[in-house]
Amino acid sequence: MSELAQSLSNALSGTLSGELIIFIISMIPILELRGGLLIASLMHIPMFKAVFICIIGNIIPIPFILLFIKKIFALLKKTKLFRPLVEKLENKAMGKSEQVQKYEFLGLLLFVGIPLPGTGAWTGSLIAALLDVDIKKASFAIFLGLILATIIMCLFSYGGLQWIIGLFQ
């Protein structure tokens, strides 16, 4: 993920501001807020500014996914070209849905909030939509998950982890 985020950042850096770069990275599936905060730290964008930009960037696609993805997928499945891709995305998301199905709100919050490969707001929103989770409940769980992911990524990206370890030495 960090290599992809760094490559994208390098490609955009000559033409766009650092703030716009991390905003765009935060909107992209796979990279999302995690990639945005990592690049923000490498670009020396102040943490609180980066947090605000990355959260907004990562939140923008979520309502559209929750509200429209099932309809979009249904339309795309009618085409020979996109049917395999949509089915692959659905199967991949549903393969990761056990935690959300079992623990519902808390499961979705942790799925989005713990920065592991294949998790995040995009996949969490897709799973919530495919499982017909109430949109208000899903939105709140995803938002809280983003806050948790932000805290964890700030600890890693901005050196907070070294500061905490130093307290115990």
CB–CB of 82/90 below 8 Å? no
CA 156 to chain centre: 16
Q: Which amino acid is at 33?
A: L
Residue 57 has pLDDT above 80, yes or no: yes
Instruction: Give the pLDDT of residue 166.
Output: 62
CB 93, CB 126: distance < 8 Å: yes
Q: How confident is the model at residue 110 (pLDDT cuts 50, 70, 90)?
A: very high
Express each pLDDT in 121-155 by its tens digit.
Answer: 999 999 999 999 999 999 999 999 999 999 999 98
**Per-residue confidence band for 117, with pLDDT thresholds at 50, 70 and 90:** confident
Are 122 and 32 in contact by the 8 Å Cβ rule? The answer is yes
Cα–Cα distance, 69 to 75 (Å, whole number): 10
For residue 64, give the amino acid letter.
F
Q: Tell me, what's the pLDDT at 163?
A: 61
Domain boundaries, the chain: 2-59, 61-154
Distance from CA of residue 49 to its chain's centroid?
Answer: 18
Average pLDDT score over residue span 38-47: 92
What mean pLDDT is predicted for residues 40-48? 92
- Global pTM reads 0.85
